[in-house]
Every structure is written in structure tokens, then in C-alpha cells.
Amino acid sequence: MGWNVNDFSMPFIFILHIILFYYCEQYIEENVSRNILYNIVSIICMAQAVIKIMQYVRVIDNFGFLVQMMTSVFFDLVPFFAVFFIFVLFFGLVIEVMGADFDNQKDKYPGLPKFVIILI
């Protein structure tokens, strides 16, 4: 099921990547780091490419067990990342409630809300 979702969504994500590249004018040097949506779509596109390569490599007998083991490890990590994300949000909210202010970080991350800067 997971492989089929990747195969079905890969062309759509790649087309979205191309559209965002030209729409957000990523070929202009100043715009490269500003557009977070384009960067997220690029990361998803690269992750899908890695998953596709893993799908092709698992056919080889020597790599089949390794690919299966890595897949099971990543699926087992999902509950850990869920709990970890909850704790990061909790401590971010605690820092926000305590009134911490990171003035020197606002120059590094222009346009982001204070809570997102705290999470970073």
C-alpha cells in the first residue's frame, strides 16, 4: 500500500514542484531561501525519489532484507516521533507563556511568528 501511494503521488508532487519553481521565481537568487512552501515540496520530492530507489533496490537479493529492515524501523519510529513532537510543542508553549523573547533571532527568521522561532 505504501509503495502504491508513492507511485501515484510522485508525478503530482513533481508537477507541483515545477509550478512552484517558476511561480515563486526560485531561479532568482534572493528568493531561494524565502519560500518555505517550495522548500517543503522539494524535500517531499527528494524523499519520494529515495523511496522509489529503495523500491528498485529491494529486488536484489542482497539488498532485499536491508530495505525491509529499514522500512520496519521507520514505521516503528512513528510513535516515538509523535511523543517527541508533543513534548517539543509543550516546552515551546511553556517558553512562550514564560515570556521569553529572542530578539536576535528575529533578524535570522524574518516574517515568522514568535512561537515558530521558539520551536526552531
Tens of pLDDT along the chain (120 residues) come to 556 777 778 888 888 888 877 777 766 766 666 677 778 888 898 988 888 888 888 888 888 888 888 889 988 999 999 999 999 999 888 888 888 776 666 667 777 777 777 777
What amino acid is encoded at 20 in this protein? Answer: L
Name residue, grid cell 508532487. 13
Nearest to 10 by CA among 38, 51, 39: 51
Question: pTM for the full model?
Answer: 0.58
Task: Say if residues 31 and 62 touch (Cβ distance below 8 Å).
Answer: no
Reading the block at residue 62, the C-alpha cell is 542482497
Task: Say if residues 118 and 90 touch (Cβ distance below 8 Å).
Answer: no
Task: Say if residues 48 and 3 touch (Cβ distance below 8 Å).
Answer: no
Domain ranges of the chain: 1-60, 77-120
Task: Say if residues 82 and 64 touch (Cβ distance below 8 Å).
Answer: no
